[in-house]
Structure 1
Amino acid sequence: MLRQYELVERVKEYDPDADEAALNRAYVYTVQKHGSQKRASGDPYFSHPVEVAGLMTDLKLDQETIMTALLHDTVEDTLATIDDIEANFGTDVARLVDGVTKLSKIEQMPENERAAENLRKFLLAMSEDIRVLLVKLGDRLHNMRTLHFISNPEKRRRIARETMDIYAPLAERVGMYEYMREMQLLAFEQLEPEAYKTITGRLAQLKMQDGGQVDAVALAIKQALAEAGLQVEVSGREKHPYSIWRKMAERHLPFEQVTDIFAFRVVCADVGDCYRALGVLHQVWQFIPGKFKDYISTPKNNGYRSLHTSLIYENSMRVEVQIRTQEMHRTNEFGLAAHWAYKQGDRPDGQVGWLRELLDIVEQSHDPDELLEHTRLAIYQDRIFAFTPKGALFQLPKGATAVDFAYAVHTDLGGQTVGAKINGRHMPLRTPLGNGDVVEIIKGERAEPQPSWLGFVVTGKARAAIRRAVRQKERAEVAEIGSKLFEEIADRVPAKIGKKAIREALKRLDMEEPEDLMFAVGAAKLTDREVMEALVPGCTAEMDAEQAGDWTKREHAISIRGLTAGVGFELGECCHPVPGDRIVGLRNPGELVEVHTIDCIELASGIDSDWLDLSWGEQSVGATGRLRATLYDRPGALAEMASIFGQNMANITALELSQHEHPFGVYEVDLEVQDVAHLTRILSALRASDAVAQAERV
């Protein structure tokens, strides 16, 4: 662990103007606040923030970042507050510490919600100051280095998975490849212990058996370039174990068939020498087609610049060669942090422009699962390059489609997409794009995002925008139903309802827009009485049960026209007719008249019966209707359906789960309803509910 004076000396070496007293105060503060707390390793807890601060000095970051690293756990794990940090160390440090600190008071949330809320806060803070990300990456890297001390294997795997899914890709997206590789290696060890052990063992064995082959190849490359008049530095190494495992998994190869295990780096004096070195290597050794990539003329979004090629060396040995300048090398290894060391506060748009995409996702994601899914997609590592017809370049994940491309250009363009030309040819929207494709989006003014696109888009931005548009459309449809129901409710209020009454009702219901009210009515989130009271307070108290629609307080009264006086009847159990339905009767000697709806399938079996033309009496009210509802198989769905029945004053007389096949459950429900209009309103409310996939009358 770094001692206090050692940490200060490190900062002063690259920043002589740093405030030594402030650094000392931060060091002492974190030691005092964490006190006797211990880590899983048995080390004092304050050793962790001190080590994170040490990592930040390796990146030559400013003193505010170093102080943030020292203080980043005090608010979460001690009695210190953000106000305390601000009082002692200033507004900027307090803001950075708050950005790195996890949310408090969320321990009762489910795991995915807790993770999503932490991520949401972190992304927002990161967008305001990228130093939040740099400290967070240092914090995660040191935690991964000590992960093996945690005794609970499930907790180790959870942290490793989060690192692999979120933090290693974030490190890659800001060009911090050293951090990315080490995080991936440490997470790989926890997530795939057998594969990790096998590959690292084979690499160690290969290193012992190569007899200096790596050094020999590096020397041959250097000599070939020296003969061409190029003075370069050449180094070689085995590839990263995790990248080897990924290649084995993706291509279904055994270790023996992974040919390009060795990688060599050539560092040149300038860009011109990089291209000259590439030409020399391609003349001396055969290069492998399809393996050349020019990230100097077309840098990655994170600022990475280099030439990549693969060569066939002696004995058919395949080697990968990366060619770059010394400045490119430092930027490639430490990315945004390297840039920060030279130009503090001037962050390059190319490296962090993707933060805007993450902010769009934060705004558009509907729930924790969506936020986590879309964020992982947005920081996906493998990228391809595609162009607009005018030559603008966009980087997208491998497998991206024309719809992903349209949303990358602009969210509005994505929503208006109706077709696409790829390299001048009309192609289906689901066609995966390749490197260098020229994509022309065809748009329609009245077009809108289609739910089917969710089956093939791969970018987080596209998925978030499509889902948001679909939700808005569904909300508009429910609000349209609610508007019609609202008109019926307003007709029962003893006053003329105008804009003023609606404005006052919105205030009473704590709503912003009339559309919010219509949606609440259509989704059965408000009862008729609640809406009436909001429109004209006290009006329901002056109504009797019948006027208020509380028909359940009366006895059911059913009369049938078309029957001889004294003749008994029964309502068909097959079709459950209710007042308002068109009905007919079947009469058999010595039996009650059976009353059926006009479209009942059982009428086909009554060919030998006497058919009677029937209708409901004027005062007929109340009967049992049957409906079938398909609910999503999740907690609270059945309760939400029952709540809709209650809000609509319908009594359940029978409930049966007729089919259960994840993710749905199908229920048949018998309800006491007033008439067919009442039953129709209930069906509309069910269809508007998020808990109900389908609802129909039986």
Structure 2
Amino acid sequence: MVAIVHVPSPGSLAAADAKAFAAWIDHVAAAYAPAERAAIGKALDSARVRYTGLRTADGEPWLDRALGTAGIVAALKLDADSVRAAILLGAPFAPGFDAAALAESVGAEVAQIVVGAARMGAIRAAPGSAAREDHDLQAENLRKMLLAMVEDIRVVLINLAERTQALRFLVGSDDTPADARAQAARETLDLFAPLANRLGVWQLKWELEDLSLRALEPEAYQRIAGLLDERRLDRQHYIENVQATLKRELAAAGVKAEVSGRAKHIYSIWNKMRRKQRGIESLYDIRAVRILVDEVKDCYAALGVVHNLWSPVPREFDDYIAKPKANNYRSLHTAVIGPEDKPLEVQIRTFDMHRQSEHGVAAHWRYKEGAHAGRRDPGYEEKIAWLRQVLDWKDAVADAGEWLQQFKSSLFTDTIYVLTPQGKVVDLPRGATPVDFAYAVHTSLGHRCRGAKVDGVMVPLN
């Protein structure tokens, strides 16, 4: 099974009638309580008025951009306020925008998310012409800045959803200049896909990467898609036989499990083919299945069943349960020589691990039914503490406790990030003055500095 990039039809909701919008509400807001659906509908009515004739910088009608983003946010199962904020995402770009009036209309919390998303959306990656070392450093600083500048993680998630919708539009539009499409794709691979990866939002990471590859390397994308499609029926039949065998053997071993085929993403395949200098058929995870179980002990019991059925491939086993990835991803990965002597990848995890792996930090904002519908998890503060831990961009840590303390003090407490007019990020110690900033940019600028503006306002040099 392979995941082909979804690009929506060119039809626009900007000129849709009331019936089409009602159908959109029914589809997107089905999981929310009646009062929340009504609030989402009210946000949509407001957006339709605000976005009349308004387009994004890349040419998509703002209503389409906002509703596409809101649909992605709802699919991530974020709360109703997040969906409302996504619908109103373009409000700051409408003529005569008034943040106070927006807060009065939709509530302070939703307004803060909208304004925060607009501020975060203004951050752009270093140009592709920059030196590789400068480019990498700039990308890392930007990723840190993007996360340090927001108080509400929903702002980050909505921005990731907006970037996904933007790429869907750019890839699907024949009117988009190739250089604009390529710039957006490079920016996505530099900033937004790694951001989704670090937050564990795999659902968006995969689509962002596949859309970017389709924009940057259309021939390679189509070639891999074609190779996969040629043998699709054979591979599907093979996976169905593997699933049947696993279900039978797991049941005989007393392991209650759900077995399914696992979608493969073209960017991942392209990356591995390029990195390992191998043909597509020699990759272990072209044929892949996933086993979901109730408890951790069942993961290892299922692993024993798999290795008893087929010979494991040396050095292709990873235990991310005992040693989770930096973004808290947990699973067992093994590659075996399966039926017909063909390589097969098997992932094994609990249902809870699977929910976390699909939605990442977004899982902590999932819609809740019952008395606390639409509210945050009771353990919200603990989850935000975990979130801050995963925002470090280094994979290897010697002492997790010491590292976390150092990370918190350096990134969130003792460091500020300043954006130059050219878009370069300069990190300075908290309490730094405009003069410190000037010297950080260049010594001669520090010598000649006579005044400074911050966000367009003159400020003292000290």
- Common fold, TM-score beyond 0.5? yes
2:105 aligned partner: 88
Match of 2:147 in 1: 123
3-state SS of paired residue (1:151): coil
Match of 1:267, SS state, is strand
State how far apart, in whole Å, the 2-side matches of 1:26 and 1:189 are.
33
Separation in structure 1 between the aligned mates of residue 244 and residue 301 of structure 2, nearest angstrom: 18
Q: Counterpart of 2:376 in structure 1: which amino acid?
A: Q
The equivalent residue for 2:84 is 67
Trace 1:345-424 onto structure 2 (pairs within 5 A). 346=380, 348-349=383-384, 351-354=386-389, 357=392, 378=393, 383=395, 385-388=396-399, 392=400, 410=406
Q: 1:413: Cα distance to partner?
A: 12
Q: CA deviation at 1:124?
A: 3.8
Residues 186-230 of structure 1, C-alpha deviations (whole Å, 9 max, x = no match) = 111111112111111111112144471121122222222122122
Task: Confirm whether residue 26 of structure 1 aligns to residue 43 of structure 2.
Answer: yes
- 1:58 matched to 2:81? The reply is no
Query: Could you say which structure has the higher strand fraction?
Result: 1
Aligned counterpart in structure 2 of residue 172 of structure 1, from 174, 197, 215 = 197
- Equivalent-residue separation in structure 2 for 1:337 and 1:412 (angstroms): 21
> 1:250-278 CA distances to partner (integer Å, 9 max, x unpaired)?
12223343343111100112222111111
Counterpart AA for 1:66: V
Secondary structure of 1:320's counterpart equals strand
Give the paired residue count: 393
Instruction: Tell me if the contact between 1:76 and 1:104 (Cα under 8 Å) persists in the aligned partners.
Output: no
TM-score by length of 2: 0.72
- Give CA deviations for 1:385-408 in whole Å, capped at 9, x if unaligned: 5544xxx47xxxxxxxxxxxx977
C-alpha distance 208-233 of structure 1, shift in aligned 2 (>3 A) = same
Cα displacement string for residues 70-96 of structure 1 (whole angstroms, at most 9, x for unaligned residues): 111121244323233123222222211
Partner of 2:156: 133
Superposed, 1:645-660 pairs within 5 Å as none
- Residue 308, structure 1, aligned to residue 333, structure 2: yes
Aligned to 1:419: none
**Aligned counterparts, 1:590-669, within 5 A:** none
Q: Deviations over 1:83-124 (max 9, x none)?
A: 3312322222221111111479999x99999x9899787434
What TM-score, normalized to structure 1?
0.50
Residue 97 of structure 1 aligns with which residue?
A: 114
Task: Tell me the distance in 2 between the aligned counterparts of 1:269 and 1:240.
Answer: 27
Separation in structure 1 between the aligned mates of residue 306 and residue 354 of structure 2, nearest angstrom: 20
| Matched residue type, 1:95 | Q
Listed as ranges, the gaps of 5+ residues in structure 1 are 358-377, 394-405, 415-463, 470-509, 531-698
What is the deviation of 1:50? 1.7
Q: Does 1:153 align with 2:178?
A: yes
The answer on 1:144 being equivalent to 2:167 is: yes
Q: In the superposition, relative to structure 1, how do residues 92 and 334 fare at CA in structure 2: closer, same or farther (>3 Å)?
A: same
Contact 1:309 1:321 in 2 (8 A): yes
Higher helix share: 2
The amino acid of 2:447's aligned partner reads K
User: Structure 1 residues 163, 411: CA separation in 2 closer, same or farther (over 3 Å shift)?
Assistant: closer
* Partners of 2:191 and 2:353 in 1: CA distance: 25
1:48 equivalent in alignment to 2:65 = yes
> Does the C-alpha gap of structure 1 residues 225 and 260 become closer, same or farther in structure 2, counting only changes over 3 Å?
same
Give the number of the structure with larger relative contact order, counting CA–CA contacts within 8 Å between residues 6 or more apart. Answer: 2
Q: Is 1:188 paired with 2:220? A: no
Q: Deviations over 1:649-678 (max 9, x none)?
A: xxxxxxxxxxxxxxxxxxxxxxxxxxxxxx
1:154-553 mapped onto 2 (5 Å cutoff): 154-210=179-235, 212-237=237-262, 239-341=264-366, 342=368, 344=376, 346=380, 348-349=383-384, 351-354=386-389, 357=392, 378=393, 383=395, 385-388=396-399, 392=400, 410=406, 525=447
Instruction: Tell me the alpha carbon deviations over residues 155-196 of structure 1, each in whole angstroms, 9 at most, x when there is no partner.
Output: 000011111111111111111111111111111111111211
Cα distance 1:290–1:521, how it changes in 2: closer, same or farther (>3 A)? closer
User: Could you say what the CA RMSD is over the residues aligned between the two structures, in angstroms?
Assistant: 4.2
Once residues 104 and 214 of structure 1 are traced to their aligned partners in structure 2, the CA distance between those partners, rounded to angstroms, is: 42
SS in 2 for 1:79: coil
Partner Cα distance (2:78, 2:208) in 1: 21
AA matched with 1:169: P
Cα gap change, 1:274 to 1:179, in 2 (>3 Å): same
Report the AA paired with residue 177 of structure 1.
W
Q: Secondary structure at the match of 2:186?
A: helix
8 Å CA contact retained: 1:34, 1:78: no
- Distance in 2 (CA, whole Å) between partners of 1:178 and 1:5 is 27
Deviation at 1:133, TM superposition (A): 0.9
C-alpha separation in 1, matches of 2:204 and 2:216: 18
Q: Residues 189 and 265 of structure 1: is their aligned pair in 2 closer, same or farther, counting only changes over 3 Å?
A: same
Q: Between the two proteins, what is the percent identity of the paired residues? A: 31
Amino acid aligned to 1:73: G
Contact 2:283-2:343 within 8 A present in 1 as well: no
Instruction: List alignment gaps of at least 5 residues for structure 2.
Output: 1-12, 14-18, 369-374, 411-424, 451-462
CA contact (8 A) 2:287 2:344 kept: yes
1:8 Cα deviation after fit: 5.0
- Give the whole-Å Cα distance in 1 for the aligned partners of 2:318 and 2:228: 26
Distance 1:136 1:105 in 2: 11
Preserved CA contact (<8 Å) 1:260 1:318: yes
**Whose Rg is larger?**
1
